[in-house]
Amino acid sequence: MSERALRGTRLVVTSYETDRGIDLAPRQAVEYACQNGHRFEMPFSVEAEIPPEWECKVCGAPSLLVDGDGPEEKKGKPARTHWDMLMERRTREELEEVLAERLAVLRSGTMNIAVHPRDTNRKSA
Protein backbone atom coordinates (compact mmCIF):
# COMPACT_ATOMS: atom_id res chain seq x y z
CA MET A 1 0.00 0.00 0.00
CA SER A 2 2.78 2.42 0.82
CA GLU A 3 4.28 1.93 -2.64
CA ARG A 4 1.16 3.41 -4.21
CA ALA A 5 0.92 6.43 -1.89
CA LEU A 6 1.41 9.79 -3.56
CA ARG A 7 3.97 12.13 -2.14
CA GLY A 8 2.67 15.53 -1.16
CA THR A 9 4.24 18.66 -2.63
CA ARG A 10 3.70 22.30 -1.91
CA LEU A 11 1.94 24.31 -4.58
CA VAL A 12 3.92 26.86 -6.58
CA VAL A 13 7.03 26.43 -4.43
CA THR A 14 9.04 23.90 -6.40
CA SER A 15 9.36 23.81 -10.16
CA TYR A 16 10.29 20.52 -11.75
CA GLU A 17 11.30 22.16 -15.02
CA THR A 18 14.95 22.60 -15.90
CA ASP A 19 16.82 25.06 -18.11
CA ARG A 20 18.47 22.27 -20.09
CA GLY A 21 17.88 22.49 -23.81
CA ILE A 22 16.31 25.97 -23.65
CA ASP A 23 17.81 28.96 -25.43
CA LEU A 24 17.26 32.08 -23.35
CA ALA A 25 16.58 35.40 -25.04
CA PRO A 26 19.65 37.65 -25.39
CA ARG A 27 19.89 39.95 -22.39
CA GLN A 28 21.62 43.12 -21.37
CA ALA A 29 22.40 44.41 -17.89
CA VAL A 30 21.22 47.97 -17.24
CA GLU A 31 22.51 49.94 -14.27
CA TYR A 32 20.34 52.21 -12.13
CA ALA A 33 21.27 54.53 -9.25
CA CYS A 34 18.91 55.97 -6.63
CA GLN A 35 19.16 59.26 -4.74
CA ASN A 36 20.31 57.38 -1.60
CA GLY A 37 23.49 56.14 -3.31
CA HIS A 38 22.36 52.58 -4.07
CA ARG A 39 23.46 51.16 -7.43
CA PHE A 40 22.07 47.97 -8.93
CA GLU A 41 21.71 46.21 -12.25
CA MET A 42 18.53 44.91 -13.87
CA PRO A 43 18.50 42.38 -16.73
CA PHE A 44 16.44 43.33 -19.78
CA SER A 45 15.96 41.72 -23.15
CA VAL A 46 18.05 43.20 -25.94
CA GLU A 47 14.79 43.98 -27.77
CA ALA A 48 13.09 45.64 -24.78
CA GLU A 49 12.63 49.37 -24.41
CA ILE A 50 14.66 50.41 -21.36
CA PRO A 51 12.67 52.51 -18.85
CA PRO A 52 14.50 55.64 -17.66
CA GLU A 53 13.27 55.13 -14.07
CA TRP A 54 13.05 52.01 -11.88
CA GLU A 55 12.24 51.33 -8.24
CA CYS A 56 15.37 50.82 -6.09
CA LYS A 57 15.80 47.21 -4.98
CA VAL A 58 17.17 48.30 -1.58
CA CYS A 59 15.06 51.24 -0.39
CA GLY A 60 12.21 51.52 -2.93
CA ALA A 61 13.07 55.09 -3.96
CA PRO A 62 12.87 56.03 -7.64
CA SER A 63 16.18 55.24 -9.37
CA LEU A 64 17.40 56.80 -12.59
CA LEU A 65 19.20 55.11 -15.44
CA VAL A 66 22.99 55.54 -15.18
CA ASP A 67 24.39 57.30 -18.29
CA GLY A 68 20.90 57.79 -19.68
CA ASP A 69 18.36 60.51 -20.20
CA GLY A 70 16.08 61.32 -17.31
CA PRO A 71 12.36 60.60 -17.46
CA GLU A 72 10.45 62.98 -19.70
CA GLU A 73 8.33 65.55 -17.94
CA LYS A 74 4.63 64.82 -18.05
CA LYS A 75 2.31 67.66 -18.90
CA GLY A 76 -0.05 68.27 -16.05
CA LYS A 77 -3.59 69.40 -16.60
CA PRO A 78 -4.40 72.79 -15.13
CA ALA A 79 -6.82 72.57 -12.23
CA ARG A 80 -10.42 73.15 -13.28
CA THR A 81 -12.24 75.52 -11.00
CA HIS A 82 -15.96 75.66 -10.28
CA TRP A 83 -16.18 78.71 -12.54
CA ASP A 84 -14.54 76.81 -15.44
CA MET A 85 -17.01 73.94 -15.13
CA LEU A 86 -19.94 76.36 -14.90
CA MET A 87 -18.81 78.18 -18.04
CA GLU A 88 -18.72 74.84 -19.90
CA ARG A 89 -22.45 74.41 -19.25
CA ARG A 90 -23.81 77.95 -19.57
CA THR A 91 -23.07 81.18 -21.40
CA ARG A 92 -22.55 84.46 -19.62
CA GLU A 93 -25.95 85.71 -20.85
CA GLU A 94 -27.72 82.65 -19.39
CA LEU A 95 -25.98 83.22 -16.06
CA GLU A 96 -27.06 86.88 -16.03
CA GLU A 97 -30.65 85.77 -16.69
CA VAL A 98 -30.61 83.18 -13.88
CA LEU A 99 -29.11 85.76 -11.50
CA ALA A 100 -31.82 88.31 -12.36
CA GLU A 101 -34.55 85.70 -11.76
CA ARG A 102 -33.16 84.67 -8.38
CA LEU A 103 -32.66 88.29 -7.27
CA ALA A 104 -36.28 89.06 -8.21
CA VAL A 105 -37.49 86.11 -6.11
CA LEU A 106 -35.35 87.21 -3.15
CA ARG A 107 -36.55 90.83 -3.36
CA SER A 108 -40.21 89.83 -3.61
CA GLY A 109 -40.05 87.92 -0.34
CA THR A 110 -42.20 85.10 -1.70
CA MET A 111 -39.57 82.44 -1.63
CA ASN A 112 -40.98 78.95 -1.22
CA ILE A 113 -38.99 77.47 1.60
CA ALA A 114 -39.41 73.75 1.98
CA VAL A 115 -40.02 72.76 5.58
CA HIS A 116 -39.05 69.30 6.69
CA PRO A 117 -42.00 67.40 8.27
CA ARG A 118 -39.92 66.78 11.37
CA ASP A 119 -39.58 70.56 11.90
CA THR A 120 -43.40 71.17 11.85
CA ASN A 121 -43.91 68.95 14.91
CA ARG A 122 -41.56 70.99 17.09
CA LYS A 123 -42.96 73.61 19.40
CA SER A 124 -41.65 77.09 18.78
CA ALA A 125 -39.62 78.57 21.59
* Binding site members: 34, 38, 56, 59
Q: Count the neighbouring beta carbons within 10 Å of the beta carbon of residue 52.
A: 14
Report the alpha-carbon distance of residue 57 to residue 51 in Å, rounded: 15
Which residues carry a binding-site annotation for Zn(2+)? 34, 38, 56, 59
Q: Count the neighbouring beta carbons within 10 Å of the beta carbon of residue 50.
A: 13
Report the alpha-carbon distance of residue 82 to residue 107 in Å, rounded: 26
The amino acid at residue 125 is: A
List, in sequence order, the alpha helices (H) in the chain. 82-89, 92-108, 117-120
Report the alpha-carbon distance of residue 24 to residue 19 in Å, rounded: 9
